């Protein structure tokens, strides 16, 4: 991302789902586009983003692709990106590639070194993709953005890659989904309305994060439009807590011994706090590692510089509380919306899944940063997005809900 209750209802009779979900051979959507049974909308989590970037093998491990395979969907099209992939959302010819582990076991990256257009394997598709997830997309972007310049940030080049601007008449993600006339729609949007402020280390309602009232109004408009202009049953994911991702939880606000990753204690056996610009720091964000590696935030008595970690890599208790309140508010709205429309919307509790993962309640998986638990973590190297194992758990959760609503028994192997 920028670059984180199931109420079952009877389906409308008009859905008439029988057999598998391959593309329709009879019906067409708007503009003569063949109708599709399954379409996915959302942000980087829907796109299959991992380790700060996107490429074909990541996309093929995404939860929409896993769902499509499990449901027998034919012709499930994605904006496939060739190796080495694209990193960040400010795409240009010097764009970075996704993060990787170098030969020393440390996280590395490098610039792309070739035109972005040379990596786009499926850009000539004449209809919208089935997976319309755009890394970095906000709720406002979902409704309105159709290219980089119209995105909320004004610089998000992934809109050009996924929505393809003028090729599809400058239509937004929402309207491209409508063009496909899906029968089943998975939707996961709103994460970046909070996460943008978290990754910047600055949580200010109305500036870096979207207030609950504004989010709810936009989601009302989006969901009402989708329900009016398609017959799709919408499987709607909620918003994970910021405390479930390693980007926030990995580094405590105390000095760590780099050899053991344990807190350094003072003469009274108390952890020695990091030096920070902000007071009342509750969370130190993952990018602080690069500062601490230079001795920033570490007292001179411990061979540090004695200078403070900048506010951009810390969250105060107040900022964390604001983010938690927003998440709770968004999720309360989503539950209420699903409860009010049980025949059209079903909530998927991804927040509950990630909370269980954090508490060690998902067999064989942890919510630990990859360098600390390479074998079992469900997260990728950016500390925000899942790895293939994590996305599989999301897909399994989605599929269990889809199975219950549609009275199916699809399985992910």
- pTM: predicted TM-score of the whole model, two decimal places: 0.90
Q: pLDDT value at position 213? A: 98
Contact 333, 238 (CB under 8 A): no
CA 221 to chain centre: 21
pLDDT above 50: residue 4:
no
pLDDT in tens, 331-387: 999 999 999 999 999 999 999 999 999 999 999 999 999 999 999 999 999 999 999
pLDDT above 50: residue 7:
no
In the structure, what pLDDT confidence band is assigned to residue 14 with cuts at 50, 70 and 90?
very low
pLDDT in tens, 132-179: 999 999 999 999 999 999 999 999 999 999 999 877 888 999 999 999
pLDDT above 60: residue 20:
no
Contact 129, 73 (CB under 8 A): no
pLDDT in tens, 66-113: 999 999 999 999 999 999 999 986 676 678 999 999 888 889 888 998
Quote the tokens at residue 302.
């411990």
Spell out the domains of the chain, with CATH numbers in brackets: 13-84+113-247+319-406 (3.40.50.1110)
Q: Report the distance separating Cα 245 and Cα 375, nearest Å.
A: 17
pLDDT above 50: residue 296:
yes
Tell me which H or E stretch contains 251.
Answer: none
pLDDT above 80: residue 2:
no
- CA torsion, points 386, 390, 396, 397, in degrees to nearest 10? -60
Mean pLDDT, range 114-142, rounded to an integer: 96
Q: pLDDT value at position 3? A: 37
H helix runs in 19-92, sequence order = 44-47, 56-60, 63-71
DSSP letter string, 367-410: -S-GGG-TTTBSB-TTSSSB-HHHHHHHHHHHHHHHHHHHT---
E strand spans, 100-195: 100-101, 107-108, 184-188
- Flag the least confident range among 84-93, 277-286, 298-307, 370-379: 84-93
Q: Within a 10 A sphere around the Cβ of 322, how many other Cβ atoms?
A: 18
pLDDT in tens, 35-75: 899 999 999 999 999 999 999 999 999 999 999 999 999 99
pLDDT above 50: residue 22:
no
What is the rounded average pLDDT for all residues in the chain? Answer: 91
């Amino acid at each position: 991302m920028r670059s984180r209750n199931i109420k079952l209802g009877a389906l409308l009779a008009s859905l008439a789902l029988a057999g598998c979900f391959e593309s329709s051979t009879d019906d067409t959507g708007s503009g003569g586009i063949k109708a599709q049974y399954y379409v996915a909308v959302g942000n980087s989590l829907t796109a299959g983003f991992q380790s700060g970037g996107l490429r074909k093998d990541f996309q093929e491990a995404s939860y929409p692709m896993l769902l499509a395979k499990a449901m027998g969907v034919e012709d499930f099209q994605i904006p496939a990106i060739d190796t080495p992939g694209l990193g960040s959302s400010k795409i240009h010819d010097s764009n970075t590639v996704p993060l990787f582990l170098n030969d020393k076991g440390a996280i590395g990256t490098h610039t792309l070194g070739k035109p972005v257009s040379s990596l786009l394997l499926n850009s000539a598709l004449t209809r919208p993709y089935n997976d319309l997830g755009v890394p970095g997309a906000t709720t406002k972007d979902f409704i309105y953005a159709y290219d980089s310049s119209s995105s909320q940030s004004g610089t998000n080049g992934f809109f050009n890659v996924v929505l393809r601007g003028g090729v599809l008449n400058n239509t937004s993600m929402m309207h491209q989904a409508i063009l496909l006339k899906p029968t089943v729609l998975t939707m996961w949007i709103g994460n970046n309305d909070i996460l943008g402020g978290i990754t910047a280390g600055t949580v200010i309602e109305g500036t870096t994060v979207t207030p609950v009232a504004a989010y709810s109004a936009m989601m009302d408009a989006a969901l009402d439009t989708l329900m009016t202009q398609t017959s799709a049953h919408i499987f709607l994911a909620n918003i994970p807590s910021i405390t479930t991702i390693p980007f926030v939880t990995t580094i405590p606000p105390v000095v760590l011994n780099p050899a053991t990753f344990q807190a350094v204690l003072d003469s009274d056996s108390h952890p020695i706090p990091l030096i920070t610009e902000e007071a009342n720091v509750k969370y130190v964000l993952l990018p602080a590692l690069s500062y601490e590696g230079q001795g920033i935030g570490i007292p001179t008595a411990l061979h540090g510089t004695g200078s403070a970690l900048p506010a951009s890599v810390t969250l105060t208790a107040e900022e964390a509380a604001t983010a938690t309140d927003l998440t709770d508010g968004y999720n309360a709205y989503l539950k209420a919306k699903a409860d009010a429309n049980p025949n059209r919307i079903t909530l998927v509790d991804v927040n509950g899944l990630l909370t269980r993962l954090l508490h060690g309640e998902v067999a064989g998986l942890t919510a630990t940063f990859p360098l600390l638990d390479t074998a079992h973590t469900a997260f990728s190297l950016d500390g925000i997005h899942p790895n293939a194992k994590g996305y599989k758990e999301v897909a399994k959760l989605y599929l269990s809900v889809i199975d219950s609503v549609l009275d199916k028994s699809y399985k992910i192997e």
